[in-house]
Amino acid sequence: MVNEFNGKVLGEEQADILKRFSRVFEQAYIRFLDLKKAEAQAREAQIQLCLERVRARAMAMHASEELAETAALLFKQVEELGIPLWSSGFQIWNEDDISTTAWMSTPEGGIQAPFRLPHTEDPFFREILDARERGKDFLVFESSGASLEETYRYMHTLLGVREMLGDIEASGFTLPTFQVTHCGFFPHGYLMFITRELYPEAADIFGRFTHAFEQTYTRFLDLKKAEAQAREAQIEAALERVRSRAMAMHKADELVEVTLLLRKEMGRLGVEELETSSIYIHDETTGKTECWYSIQDRNDEQNLISDHMTIDLQDTWVGRQMQAFYRSGDLQTSIVMQGANRTEWITYCAEQSDLFSAEEFYGAEIPERTYHLYRFDNGYMGAAAPGEISAESWDLLKRATAVFSLAYTRFNDLRKAEAQAREARIEAALERVRSRAMAMQESADLLDIVVRMRAEFVALGHEAHYFWHMRWLPDRYEKAMTSGDGARIGMVMELPRHIHGDIPLLAEWEKSDAPTVVYAMDADAAVDYVHKMITLGDFEQVDPSAPTLEDVRHIGGLTFIMARTTHGEIGYSLPGVVPDVPEADLATLVRFAGAFDLAYRRFEDLKLKEQQYREAEIELALERVRARTMAMQRSEDLADLSFELVKQVQALGVATWFCAFNIYDEDGKGSLEWGSNGEGVFPLYRTPREGIFLRYYEAGQRGETLLVHEIGEDECPAHYAYLCTLPGVGEQLLKMKDAGIPFPTSQIDHVAYFKYGYLIFITYEPVPESHDIFKRFARVFEQTYTRFLDLQRAEAQAREAVRQASLDRVRAEIASMRTTADLDRITPLLWRELTTLGVPFIRCGVFIADEAARHFRTHLGRPDGAALAAFDLPFDSAPTTRALAEHWRAAKVYREQWDRAQFVDWMRSMAEQGILDDAAYPGAEDPPEALALLFAPFAQGMLYVGSPAPLSDDDVAVVRSLAEAFAVAYARYEDFRKLEAAKRTVEAAYDELNEAKDRLVQSEKLASLGALTAGIAHEIKNPLNFINNFAELNEELADEVAEALDAGDLDEVRAILDDVRQNAAIIKQHGKRADGIVRSMMQHARSGEGRHEPVDVNAFVEEYLNLAYHGQRARVPGFNAELVTELGDDVGTVEMVPQEMGRVLINLLGNAFDAVCEYAASQNGQYAPKVTVTTRRENGQVAIRVADNGPGIPDEVKAKIFEPFFTTKPTGSGTGLGLSLSHDIVTQGHGGTLTVESAPGQGATFVVRFPSHMVPVPPH
């Protein structure tokens, strides 16, 4: 409908026209719509075509690098759609989700290098980030003015963006002052389209292109993933090849090949900027770094140079940077090497390598490089390139490092396992050496250890020719060396110390602590050394296959490799000059030295044990000699020692032909010698002091302890010819010769000296190891001979002791004889003692001479030793008896020798004279064939001994000693006979003396009793007076009772009777007192048969003081003295025999009263007599002191005062037994003491002490 808006209503015409226009417009509008639709379809087709082109390009991508080209096509298609763009591009969100990596187009339509765009620092980009966070699919916003200028200023601060904007401006383009930004978001980022004007339709197109780019980017991601997987596979394959090679390593030298392979594989992976690949292993213990490297040959790019070097990082600037990086703990670093630092490094590395020089490799100018290092546990890997390597190359270096680290760990494990296996083999070898050492049974086995060490050392893969052990001694070396093939010991020798002391290297090594030394000698030096060893060495064993000097020269020299031991060295030799011996060989040798030390300690232990065993053997042999010596009973046994000596020496393994000991004569003219050849003992013989014997003697006089004299073949026959002329030994040697025993053709005499002479040991061969044994045997033999001399002295002493004992028995036996009949015991006694003394006899007897009767009283013994009846043999009965009497008078020994006939004639003569009956004399029927008569004189006669043969001088001396003893004993017998009569006279006198003594003792007792009786009489008088007086009173009272009864006064009777009773009681009391006095007197009068009983000491003393005092007054009218008693309250009761102790007190008190009485008579009234009696307990004893103030007792009297019969009183006034008996009563009867204390003018005190708890002692 068409309306007119002028407010008028159209007319029909107008309306019709309008309708017609309306139909025409409708057709036109339909056409318009068709055109519009066609345009839209064309536009859509155009858009679809553009989108299809983008899709087609995306689908055609084969590598992720084509994403930039696809993006450029996309932006070109947008422009072809008629939308002019200032810039366009795509942004991919980074992992932080707040920044993007941007690929933006250039004004010319190209794509800039990607750059990073933060989205949080500028409002322009924050708006885009906010839209994404809000989930918007598309964002359109306008920017202009100051805010847009600020955004571009901000973008100029960003790395990469600044350069891009600079390029745009440099190309003549200006930055917009107004722009419309269109952002189409997809999951991984967004598309950015910037126009200078607003195009509404652009938003839809940009959105569709965003969707298309999302497909393109997905395709890109798929391709990128596939490429990454392919690349990863490629990288992994390369790394696997490196890993496999590293895992296959068996020794460190193969690291060169690993670095070469690493360099090749990185080249295959397209890392073309890599010039050098390296592996560095740092050793913290040594401070050194091992480097394995592979570098591209600048003269041949297809060639790689690989090598190994050991460097000290401190030596160069680059090295110090590497060390700082390694110690920092960082994973990676880049070291820019330029200028002098680069030149220093390359020059240093070239010096450590033989494969290239810096000048040949780089020429005059060394280019700059950057070293890229990536760390692993044991070191780091390095890659040198002209500049900084790419991130992918870093990643490859990182991954290669990880692979190598794992492989190197495996390598280290393998190397450790190999080292452990090697260690196990070494330890097993050492253990076998140790086991062999522990199995050593004798010190000689040490040489086998040297052979075993060489075998084990070679079995471990080491090269060794001759192997040795050498002991360092202060003055020499002792060396044992294997044969060249090591199968046995070839040489054993001693070398002088200067053979090494003249070689500075070896001399210094011996002084140092260095474990090993290598001495490499060229041909001349080696020949010189071997020549010195041959000429200066003392060889115990020689290897016939040892190389000659020409052999040594032919091999070009010798190298000695030696390791120190605790006692010297072990070592081995190599042919030629080998200055650089592998360290492993030296280390193994050092360990073998340690094992050999064990063997050597075992050797020393065995040697010590062998020495101890040998010492024990020697000591046992010596002990057997000592024991044989100690077992000697007679000096004759000394000869057997020569046989024992040779037996024990031979038992020690010393091959002796003859042994002997030679004892010097005291006169110095010769010697006695005992010898043995082991078959038996030579008879004792003498050696003269001449020839060889003089030589031996003089050597001993010079103080030599051992002389070794070799008698060669040229002089030995003459020597034995001379010996055969000597008495004793000559006969024995000739017997040996006759028995077919040959004399030595040569011999060695070993003469070992001791105090009294020497021992001689004869051997066929030198035995230097036995010299000490010979000297020790000499020392023992000195003890032996000393023992022999002791035995001689002991034998003499024993003979003397036996003789003395025999003589003592003779003296004792004869001294015990009392009667004539006892003389029959003489001949058995004589027989027994002669037998004991070892005198060889068959008859014996004693001839007692009677000069007055002119005959011998003869006591003969039977052959069995029994005594014959004694008979008298007249001096003139036979010529023999006449001679016998004459020799007796002259005190001379008489000897006579009879044969059978003479014996028979003498027997017949005795029978014819009636002196002896044949039947009474045993042996007469079988007279001896020979009889040696010996008569030894003594004072009273002759001692007779008959023997089959004349007695030796020693036996004669024994018989004479026996005769002298017999004389003394017989004189004693005669003295006893004379004393018999005297004894009887003395015994009679003694009996009379005892009777007199008994009478005196009895009189002393009676005197004591008399003194007591006088006292008792005085004491008993008082009670008798009381009894008489009160008896008279009772008579009077009886009369009064009668009178009272008559008067019938009973009360009076009762009163009188009470008085009578009282008087009767008094009479009874005094009657008992008198009875007690009488009983005491009776007890005192008894003999000493009393028993111990408890006695009150104080009462006892008082009673006897009164009795003694009154007895004295009764004996001496007018006697008066002051009596003082000091009786101790603690004395109490003591066990004693009261009658015995009473006698003691009566005696002591009586003596005191006599002393003061006599002294008073001499003082003319100027003296007051006083006697004091005291009782006390002192030190567990009771002491009773009786003291007077009389004149005292002189010292000479005190010394004898207790002796029997000693008295100072006038004759007839005392017996002298009072104090003696008192002393016996106190000491023997009561176990006490009686002492006197006195001095002239000071009175006298007698003290009786006896135990207060005395065990009863039988009365004396």
Among 350, 357, 379, smallest CA distance to 259 is for 379
CA-CA distance, 337 to 345, in Å (whole number)? 8
65 in Cβ contact with 111 (< 8 Å): no
Catalogue the E-assigned strands of 764-910: 843-850, 855-860, 871-874, 894-899
Mean pLDDT along residues 942-971 = 85
d(CA 499, CA 477) in angstroms, rounded, equals 9
Strands 1170-1178 and 1122-1127: parallel
Beta-carbon contacts of residue 355 (< 8 Å; ≥ 6 apart): 305, 306, 307
Instruction: Find the farthest-apart pair of alpha carbons in the chain and give their distance in angstroms, rounded.
Output: 245
Locate 208 and state its tokens: 């569709």
Quickly state the pLDDT bin for 148 (edges 50, 70, 90).
very high
- Same CATH topology for 40-228 and 1091-1251: the answer is no
Sequence-separated (6 or more) residues with CB below 8 Å from residue 1060: 1034, 1037, 1038, 1041
The domain ranges of the chain are 40-228, 248-420, 439-612, 632-797, 839-951, 1091-1251
| CA distance linking residue 1252 with residue 1254, whole number of Å | 6
Lowest mean pLDDT among 524-538, 574-588, 957-971, 1244-1258: 1244-1258
Segment 346-373, tens digit of pLDDT: 888 888 877 667 666 676 778 888 989 9
Task: Give me the pLDDT at residue 998, please.
Answer: 60
Give residue for tokens 């999302």: 214
In the predicted structure, residue 1011 carries a pLDDT above the cut 70: no
Residue 994: band (very low, low, confident or very high) from pLDDT cuts 50, 70, 90: low
Span 891-912, average pLDDT: 89
Single-letter code of the amino acid located at 589: L
CA distances from 1154 to 1122, 1161, 1235 (A): 14, 11, 19
CATH 1.10.730 fits 248-420, yes or no: no
With a cut of 60, say whether residue 1260 has pLDDT above it. no
Indicate if the pLDDT at residue 1255 is higher than 50.
no
Arithmetic mean of pLDDT, 776-780:
86
Alpha-carbon span 107 to 87, nearest angstrom: 7
**Contact of 72 with 105, CB cutoff 8 Å:** yes
CATH of domain 632-797: 3.30.450.40
Over 90: is that where the pLDDT of 1005 sits? no
Mean pLDDT for 875-891 is 92
φ and ψ at residue 1244, rounded to 5 degrees: -140, 145
Contact residues for 661 (Cβ-Cβ < 8 A; gap 6+): 641, 642, 645, 673, 674, 675, 757, 758, 759, 760, 781, 785
* Residues whose CB is less than 8 angstroms from the CB of residue 675 and which lie 6 or more positions away in sequence, other chains included: 642, 658, 659, 660, 661, 681, 682, 685, 729
Helix axes 317-328, 339-352, angle to 10 degrees: 90
Q: Assign 727 to helix, strand or coil.
A: coil
- pLDDT tens for residues 1050-1085? 777 788 778 778 877 877 777 777 776 666 656 555
| Sheet-wide strand order for 1170-1178 | 1122-1127, 1170-1178, 1181-1188, 1244-1251, 1233-1238
The predicted-structure confidence for 695-738, as pLDDT tens digits, reads as follows 999 999 999 999 999 999 999 999 999 999 988 888 888 888 88
With a cut of 60, say whether residue 1227 has pLDDT above it.
Answer: yes
Distance, in Å, from the CA atom of 1226 to the CA atom of 876, rounded to the nearest integer, reads 72
Residue 901, pLDDT > 70, answer: yes
CA–CA gap between residue 376 and residue 399 (Å, rounded): 11
Tell me how far apart the alpha carbons of residues 490 and 480 are, in angstroms, rounded to a whole number: 8
CA–CA dist 27, 174 (Å, integer) = 49
Cα distances from 147 to residues 166, 258, 1084, 1096, in angstroms, run: 20, 60, 168, 153
CA–CA distance, 116 with 129 (Å, rounded to integer): 14
Asked if 537 contacts 495 with a C-beta cutoff of 8 angstroms, the reply is: yes
Residue 636 banded pLDDT, cuts 50, 70, 90: low
Structure tokens at 1006: 């009676």
Round to whole Å and give the CA distance between 1096 and 1080.
15
pLDDT at 993 over 70: no
Name the helix (H) or strand (E) containing 1056.
helix 1050-1085
Q: For residue 581, what are its two tokens?
A: 């011996």
Would the pLDDT of 4 be above 60? no
Residues 6+ apart with CB under 8 A from 240: none
Backbone dihedral angles phi then psi of residue 1124, each to the nearest 5 degrees = -120, 130
Coil/strand/helix, residue 930? strand
The pTM of the full predicted model, rounded to 2 decimals, is 0.42
Output the six-digit token pair for 753: 């000296």
Quote the pLDDT of residue 441: 66
The C-alpha atoms of residue 1154 and residue 1112 are separated, in whole angstroms, by: 8
Question: What distance in Å separates the CA atoms of residue 939 and residue 525, rounded to the nearest whole number?
Answer: 104
Mean pLDDT, residues 254-276 taken together: 70
| Average pLDDT over the chain, rounded to an integer | 82
Separation CA 106–CA 88 (nearest Å):
8
Confidence of residue 1088 (pLDDT cuts 50, 70, 90): very low
Kindly report which listed range (49-58, 338-347, 369-378) carries the lowest average pLDDT score: 49-58
Average pLDDT of the residues in 315-335: 92
CA dist 598 and 1055 (Å) reads 134
- Phi–psi pair at 849, nearest 5 degrees: -85, 135
Q: How far is CA 853 from the centre of its chain?
A: 92
Flag whether pLDDT at 753 surpasses 90: yes
Backbone phi, psi, residue 790, to 5°: -60, -40
Query: Taking residues 875-892, what's their average pLDDT?
Result: 92
For residue 914, is it left (φ>0), alpha (ψ between -120 and 50) or beta? left
What percentage of the chain exceeds 90 in pLDDT? Answer: 25
CA distance 465 to 1105: 127
Residue 644 in contact with residue 606, Cβ under 8 Å?
A: no
Q: Which amino acid is at 168?
A: I
**CA 68, CA 557: separation in Å to the nearest integer?**
77
Question: Of the given ranges (640-654, 697-711, 877-891, 1123-1137), which has the lowest mean pLDDT?
Answer: 640-654
**Which three-class secondary structure state does DSSP give residue 899?**
strand
How many CA atoms lie within 13 Å of 56's alpha carbon, on the beta-carbon side?
A: 8
> Which pLDDT tens digit goes with each residue over 460-477?
889 999 999 999 999 999
- Checking 1211-1219 for CB contacts under 8 A at 24+ apart, the result is 1215/1000, 1215/1001, 1215/1003, 1215/1004, 1215/1007, 1217/1000, 1217/1001, 1217/1004, 1218/1004, 1218/1007, 1218/1008, 1218/1147, 1218/1150, 1218/1151, 1219/1147, 1219/1151
Q: Which fold has domain 439-612?
A: Beta-Lactamase (3.30.450)
* Residue range 1091-1251 in CATH 3.30.565.10: yes
Report the C-alpha gap between 197 and 906 in whole angstroms.
196
Q: For 1143-1173, what is each residue's pLDDT tens digit? A: 898 888 888 988 888 888 888 878 899 999 9
Q: Which of 341, 296, 293, 295 is nearest to 319 (CA)?
A: 341
Fold of 40-228: Beta-Lactamase (3.30.450)
Residues 571 and 586: beta-carbon distance below 8 Å: no
Min mean pLDDT across 33-47, 82-96, 163-177, 573-587 is at 33-47
